Amino acid sequence: MNCPCKLLPGSDVIGLPNQLRPRFLSGLPDVALKTILSAAKHRRFSASSVITNQEDPAERFFLLSSGHGRQFVITSDGRKILLQWLTAGQIFGGAAILSNPFQYLASTELLTDSCAFVWERQTVRELVSRYPLLLDNALSIAVTENIAWSIGAHISLISDDAHGRVAHLLMSLASGVGEAASGGVAMKIKNEDLAAGANVTLFTVSRFLRNWQRAGILTKGRGKILLRKPELLLAVG
């Protein structure tokens, strides 16, 4: 895979990919940024890799530097519940920052070939102590992204019907992990993912997608969707 990360021979990090401005590292002077990045290790992951597992000890902290993925939990009856989707620049494994050893609350899987910067738990805790702005940034992300996403998802679950939940999920994915393409926004997404994310059946997802495709709102391919007219998703069910 072509890696945009700036590295020394091996896996030592010396800089961020061009155009990547992670919120976790915002506001830091260049000297501090270099110190923080030099303490990370660079890792490459292939598509479909699961790199943190729910209930495993939180021993590492991650910043996704390329690619995208998502977090999920497995319920006691074996169902896979999709949570937040991740794009380049986002962090995960934040439980590693806590003073008392804790566990990952969710699993993280990568949907594309991806890269990440990885800090060991002790290392990231020393960095947070040395540079308190890192903790401020992490808390800001938790409140404005993670908790806000959870609130939005909960409100959608109890106030939207099935049509609204699938439509809002598609619009959210388009803005988060979609890529500009001829005629619209392309997303690598399966019917199963939409069903799990919107808490509906596969039959329901298939029906909505057929209707939207007939209306010219999107084009469905194997494992991907080209969203052409997102503003009409809620109008057509």
At 10 the pLDDT is 75
Q: Alpha-carbon distance 53 to 121, whole Å?
A: 16
**Mean pLDDT per 10-residue section of the chain, whose length is 237 residues:** 78 88 95 95 94 97 94 89 89 95 96 94 97 95 74 72 89 81 88 85 94 94 90 89
At 42 the pLDDT is 94
At 192 the pLDDT is 86
At 1 the pLDDT is 63
The domain segmentation of the chain, as residue ranges, is 6-157, 160-232
At 223 the pLDDT is 82
At 152 the pLDDT is 63
Give me the CATH code for the 160-232 domain, please.
1.10.10.10
Burial code of 136-154, b = ≥16 C-beta within 10 A, e = fewer? ebbeebeeeebeeeeeebe
Question: Looking at the domain covering 6-157, what would its CATH class be?
Answer: mainly beta
